[in-house]
Amino acid sequence: MDFEKFCQENCVERKGTGTLKWDSLQEVFGDPDLLPLWVADMEIQSPPAAREAIKKQADHGTFGYGKVMDPYYDAFFAWMKDRHGVELEKDNLRFATGVVGSLYAAVRAYTEPDASVIICPPVYYPFYDAILNTGRKLVMCDLDNDGGHFYLDLEKFEKTIAENKPSMFILCSPHNPVCRVWTEQELEGALEICRKYGVLVVADEIHQDFTYSPEHKFVSTALVGGGKYKDMLIILNSGSKTFNLAGLIHSHVIIFDKKLMETYDAYIKSIGSPEVNLMGVVGMGAAFRDGAEWFENVKALICHNYEYMKEAFAKDAPKIVLTPLEGTYLSWMDLRGYMDGKEVADFIQKKCRLACDVGEWFSFEGHGFVRINLATDTKYIKMAVERIITNLKQL
């Protein structure tokens, strides 16, 4: 694959287009002139099939209330079955405006106001918000780090649950930001502990499609143990990451247990939540149906960007610990080999002139780590790597 040609033909400049990643730098970082590699969306144009479907709907000239029709179900169900072995029916599926909003809904729908909810840092920071902003108690069981390989110590996990008695576990699978694709054995261990202590599991599986080798195959929680944990699962996913469609505000809530679904439906009814975004259904349905070739090319570019970064750091900044890319389209790096962890955020922003998600966003003890989005034009990855290496050499 000619990656330079692919980027020239498919990557676009986004500054000034009203995009969060590029046009919120002043508000978030206090500096509008940084190179943004933070928000997990892409500079790659979305699949042609999605763009054409949206244009066709726009040309029709009506923007009334939407309804999910059979072609959408067919396309999404086929994607889930063919790629992940998950078989779904309409009764298992509800629609939402995004995974983060669904996290809030799940916390409110299934836990009492004084309940505890457990997460495993370092983890996607809206997990904290969904717990704390709804008045629940935060319980943490930090992942262990073995030279850049993160894992969940199941004995520690069980001890934390036994002592704190959480009502819910919010699982990130694949895990953002540490790039882990959990094995079925790891997942079953965690789910069995949750079963033992009566802990409901909400699984954020939005990065499910981003895996890069057969030995790191994504296993949906719906399939773990032959599906025996379905009665304690709420699964959240979307095509928004897969096809770069986050702005279409459309996602899925998958629930297999009838009583859990009744509870979810009752909560959504109580808040008068709208069900679908017309353009989200149109664009995402087309992407699930006809976006596979585009997606495989994007995955190849992500791998290319990661390998470039890995090789450059190995040669010129060998004390950076770069977490192996098992899943997601993010890189997670540890710069504590060069400086105190609390200095890293300033180094990345003020010296390297990069806008990145830094470790303390993901964990109270996360100083020293940086997350960089790999789903972008290779020229931006090269610029970021060059700036990091150059400034490290000046220390």
Per-residue pLDDT of the chain (395 residues; tens, 9 = 90+): 999 999 999 999 999 999 999 999 999 999 999 999 999 999 999 999 999 999 999 999 999 999 999 999 999 999 999 999 999 999 999 999 999 999 999 999 999 999 999 999 999 999 999 999 999 999 999 999 999 999 999 999 999 999 999 999 999 999 999 999 999 999 999 999 999 999 999 999 999 999 999 999 999 999 999 999 999 999 999 999 999 999 999 999 999 999 999 999 999 999 998 779 999 999 999 999 999 999 999 999 999 999 999 999 999 999 999 999 999 999 999 999 999 999 999 999 999 999 999 999 999 989 999 999 999 999 999 999 999 999 999 99
The C-alpha angle 258, 85, 78, rounded to 5 degrees, equals: 85
The C-alpha angle 348, 302, 376, rounded to 5 degrees, equals: 55
Whether residue 286 is found in the same domain as residue 386? no
* CA-based end-to-end distance of the chain: 38
Whether residue 77 is found in the same domain as residue 8? no
The C-alpha angle 366, 367, 372, rounded to 5 degrees, equals: 80
Whether residue 222 is found in the same domain as residue 263? yes
Q: Which residues have C-beta within 8 Å of that of residue 227, sequence separation ≥ 6?
A: none
pLDDT at 17 (0 to 100): 98
Round to whole Å and give the CA distance between 211 and 83.
11
Round to whole Å and give the CA distance between 294 and 288.
11
Among candidate residues 290, 306, 331, the one where a domain is terminated: 290
Whole-structure pTM over 0.75, yes or no? yes
Q: Any idea what the CATH number is for the domain that residue 381 is in?
A: 3.90.1150.10
Whether residue 223 is found in the same domain as residue 192? yes
Whether residue 297 is found in the same domain as residue 176? no
Q: Which residues have C-beta within 8 Å of that of residue 261, sequence separation ≥ 6?
A: 91, 92, 94, 255
Whether residue 31 is found in the same domain as residue 131? no
Whether residue 182 is found in the same domain as residue 72? yes
Read off the tokens for 352.
């390297």
* Domain that residue 133 falls in: 51-290
Would you say how long the chain is, in residues?
Answer: 395
Round to whole Å and give the CA distance between 60 and 76.
24
Round to whole Å and give the CA distance between 240 and 371.
19
Number of domains in the chain: 2
Torsion angle of the four alpha carbons 298, 304, 306, 311, in this order, in degrees rounded to the nearest 10? 180
pLDDT at 275 (0 to 100): 78
